[in-house]
Amino acid sequence: MRTLVTGGAGFLGSHLCERLIQEGHHVICMDNLITGDLNNVAHLFGHERFRFIKHDVTEYIFVEGKLDTILHFASPASPIDYLELPIQTLKVGSLGTHKALGLAKEKKARFLLASTSEVYGDPLVHPQPEEYFGNVSPIGPRGVYDEAKRFAEAMVMAYRRYHGVDTRIARIFNTYGPRMRLHDGRVVPGFLGQALRGEDLTVFGDGSQTRSFCYVSDLIDGIYRLLLSQETDPVNIGNPAEMTVLEFAQVIMRITGSKSRIVYRSLPQDDPKVRQPDISKAKRILGWEPKVPLEEGIRETMKFFKQQLNINDRGVAQPG
Ligand code: UDP
């Protein structure tokens, strides 16, 4: 199998490249490194079945030789990134998906889109099943991501119906783990970074909004199963264990043993009040559900952030 992963140097993309190599694929990792980082795939360089191409997928994509699979994971994916990179976010979801689908059609490759729970917006149905159409503001700050991914799903379905491309759509819910960027403003690296640096934990709003956090190895396993399945409609992949953001802050304080305080900051515009995947479909069709408990996943992630911050296990910062 020869597989292209767009966004392959990103958080999810890099874990996916690793899993595909373990499964025996030849992997072409493509990334323009705007939010991706070569450090995420540094350990794969030199592997005989791994190749990296620096390219912006909103431009025509050329890959020599056959391709069996394309996994389209290129996109900024954190609210702070959409604010900083709104046009790139729109372009990669729309133009980038178009280019990647064109390549899939040309190569007769199976195509999997990394879509998102953001297609449900600030949901009025809870938990969110795949049939829910969502409650999205096209003109708010998140619109650039939400609408790009909604457009991407529409484009995937059009290529499926009109060109017969073999497609899959994964709707990915909040996922965390090693290789998340410490400074991307998301809640997991946000709180963990603050706790490890001894800073206050910044809860946005009153912290009553909910999220459901999935550990990266579980997520990748769900994606891989979806890729191998025959399911062509969207499938939610995420962990249904829901909690409030305030509860999550308390979990982080306990696990890190932090003496930090919790401080409150204003809630960003259009911040979804609830989010929890209904994963009945993934359970039924893929025989998949998440296995890694929150505490275990957070400990693994904490180890990674400690290395990034040069903190040893006694909590002492190392020089350099
Ligand atoms: N959040 C927070 N403090 C932070 C960062 C995020 O309270 O320092 C909240 C944010 O307002 C949202 C939730 O945590 O309600 C998850 O935010 P994240 O940016 O991780 O992603 P989202 O699920 O909103 O896309």
The C-alpha R_g of the chain, in whole angstroms, comes to 19
Choice among 60, 82, 132, 145 that is catalytic: 145
Residue 191 CA to its chain's centroid (Å): 18
The residue whose CA is least distant from atom 6 of ligand 1 is: 187
Considering Cα of 84, then 86, then 88, then 92, what sign does the dihedral take?
positive
Question: SS3 letters for the chain?
Answer: CEEEEECCCCHHHHHHHHHHHHCCCEEEEEECCCCCCHHHCHHHCCCCCEEEEECCCCCCCCCCCCCCEEEECCCCCCHHHHHHCHHHHHHHHHHHHHHHHHHHHHHCCEEEEEEEHHHHECCCCCCECCCCCCECCCCCCCHHHHHHHHHHHHHHHHHHHHHCCCEEEEEECCEECCCCCCCCCCHHHHHHHHHHHCCCEEEECCCCCEEECEEHHHHHHHHHHHHHCCCCCCEEECCCCEEEHHHHHHHHHHHHCCCCCEEEECCCCCCCCCCCECCHHHHHHHCCCCCCCHHHHHHHHHHHHHHHHCECCCCCECCC
Ligand 1 atom nearest residue 191's Cα: 8
Q: How far is the CA of 186 from the centre of ligand 1 (A)?
A: 6
The residue whose CA is least distant from atom 19 of ligand 1 is: 186
Could you list the residue range(s) of the whole structural domain that residue 232 is in? 2-176+214-237
Annotated catalytic, 215?
Answer: no
Phi and psi torsions of 155, nearest 5°: -65, -40
Q: How far is the CA of 152 from the centre of ligand 1 (A)?
A: 24
Q: Give the HSE-up count for residue 299: Cα atoms under 13 Å, Cβ half-sphere.
A: 7
What integer pLDDT is reported at residue 311 of this predicted model? Answer: 80
CATH number reported for the structural domain that contains residue 93 in this entry: 3.40.50.720
What integer pLDDT is reported at residue 310 of this predicted model? Answer: 86
289 part of a folded domain = no
What integer pLDDT is reported at residue 317 of this predicted model? Answer: 75
48 part of a folded domain = yes
| Best probe residue, ligand 1, of 172, 188, 204 (max atoms within 8 Å of C-beta) | 204
- Residue 64 CB contacts under 8 Å (≥ 6 apart), including other chains: none
222 part of a folded domain = yes
| Tokens linked to 15 | 């874990």
| Best probe residue, ligand 1, of 142, 173, 182, 187 (max atoms within 8 Å of C-beta) | 187
**Ligand 1, pocket residues at CB < 6 Å:** 78-79, 174, 186-187, 190, 202-204, 209, 211, 245, 268, 271
Residues in the chain with pLDDT values less than 70: 314, 316, 319-320
Q: How far is the CA of 187 from the centre of ligand 1 (A)?
A: 4
Q: How far is the CA of 83 from the centre of ligand 1 (A)?
A: 14
CB 75 within 8 A of CB 8: no
What integer pLDDT is reported at residue 183 of this predicted model? Answer: 81
What integer pLDDT is reported at residue 185 of this predicted model? Answer: 80
197 part of a folded domain = no
Q: How far is the CA of 285 from the centre of ligand 1 (A)?
A: 30
What integer pLDDT is reported at residue 237 of this predicted model? Answer: 98
60-118 pLDDT tens trace: 999 999 999 999 999 999 988 988 999 999 999 999 999 999 999 999 999 999 999 99
The residue whose CA is least distant from atom 3 of ligand 1 is: 203
| Best probe residue, ligand 1, of 211, 276, 301 (max atoms within 8 Å of C-beta) | 211
Structural domains of the chain, count:
1
> What global pTM score does this model have?
0.96
Q: Give the HSE-up count for residue 145: Cα atoms under 13 Å, Cβ half-sphere.
A: 23
66 part of a folded domain = yes
